[in-house]
Amino acid sequence: MTWLPADFVHPVRVDVPGGHHLRPIAGADVDLDYPAVMGSRERLWSLYGKAWGWPPAHMTYEQDREDLERHAVEIAAHQSFNYALFDAAESALLGCVYIDPPEKPGADAEIAWWVVDDRVGSELEQALDALVPRWIAEDWPFERPRYLGRDLSWDEWLALPDLS
């Protein structure tokens, strides 16, 4: 079984209530991504560090740009997806949504998301929390998506056997 149907077309823009939107991330977004990630680095490490080793404490601007370019290549190849959360003018990157093939049994996709520190607990975070599962259900071909850090903790996920 392949992860996505051959004819699947991924969304290129998703409106988020409050004048925000999601779109696939690109290397050119590094000027907005780097301060967003590094400004929220301690909290992001507490969420993703054990599982993904991200974001590293001393990530450079160039390393971030390379990471974003890798994401863009993976998006184009439908290997995985990283959607950035922007304000209407795309003058601020406020978070990301990751949609990945499963690494562990029991799901056909693994989805995670975050917002920058100053938006934690905000209406924007609440809107994103409500939107992502609905968006996945309506626009993606998954039957058993797993919402990492939500359906089960990261520690529970890490304890599952790997698929490979």
Cβ proximity of 87 and 80 under 8 Å: no
Within a domain: 3: no
Within a domain: 6: no
pLDDT at 69: 98
CATH code assigned at 22: 3.40.630.30
* pLDDT average per 10 residues of sequence, the chain (164 residues): 88 97 98 98 96 95 98 97 98 98 96 98 98 98 96 95 90
Range of the domain at 140: 14-157
pLDDT at 164: 77
pLDDT at 65: 98
Within a domain: 152: yes
pLDDT at 1: 47
Within a domain: 37: yes
**Which helix (H) or strand (E) is 136 found in, with range?**
helix 123-139
Beta bridge partners of 104: none
Within a domain: 100: yes
Q: What is the number of structural domains in the chain? A: 1
pLDDT at 90: 98
- List, edge to edge, every strand of the sheet that includes 145-147: 14-16, 20-24, 81-86, 93-100, 109-115, 145-147
DSSP string covering 30-60: HHHHHHHHHHTHHHHIIIIIHHH--S-TT--
Cβ proximity of 102 and 146 under 8 Å: yes
